[in-house]
Chains A and B, each alone.
Chain A
């Protein structure tokens, strides 16, 4: 069965600092991996996804994530945090033969001025 573990339910970084949100997954078959963002009072929005090919995936708003099969990880990074990045971030996995997405519990990112 698939599962996702997000380390840290809350992460605080200073404006301009590196953002690192950690995600580990388990899957019995090659996975599809996703990061979604949920801004206050808004719906889920896809930041980026990995399906096949290049393991470093670039997404919207300057975010990127690297699929590391050996570590079963898909950590999300952004070189320089902006106040507008404050939101809840969800890592998610689905299997290549399946369509249901399994979400992690989420990490709330706080940006300190």
Chain B
């Protein structure tokens, strides 16, 4: 079956602009995660959805970052007033159940965001 997909694969924007990054999880997966991977670093947790609700958003760096999952499937990560420090690869993952079950998280290929 299809894996996690993310669009766009690459996004170049100018400082101060607004961007949206999309994630399509594996069909039937209730849990969805966003991570950010900067150059030379491991992925860093941003936010986790269980169904439509954000179960843990403790990793969002500031209020410029926001994510939604209105129908419990597709999710959009939104970044306002982008800064050069936001440049990174944004990874999305999904798992069947979440809820602390140690489920395997399946990762998408990522969106590479470059802020000029």
Contact = CB atoms under 8 A, between A and B. Distances in A.
12 contacts: A43-B107, A43-B109, A44-B91, A46-B104, A49-B102, A90-B42, A98-B100, A99-B55, A100-B59, A101-B43, A103-B43, A105-B40
Interface string B56-86: 1011000000000000000000000000000
A105 B109 contact: no
B59 to A, nearest CB: 7
In this complex, the member of B103, B105, B107 whose beta carbon has the largest number of chain A beta carbons within 10 angstroms is B105
Contacts of A94: 102
Q: Is the interface of B mostly helix, strand, loop or mixed?
A: loop
Contact of B41 (A36, A44, A95, A106): A106
10 interchain residue pairs of minimum CB distance? A103-B42, A51-B102, A44-B107, A100-B45, A32-B102, A43-B109, A43-B107, A97-B100, A99-B98, A103-B43
Interface of B: 4, 31, 33, 35, 40-45, 48, 55-56, 58-59, 91, 93, 95, 98-100, 102-110
Interface residues of A, number: 25
Interface of A: 4, 32, 36, 42-46, 49, 51, 90, 92, 94-106
B42 A106 contact: yes
Nearest to B42: A103
Contacts of B55: 99
A99 B106 CA distance: 13
Nearest to A6: B42
A94 B93 CA distance: 15
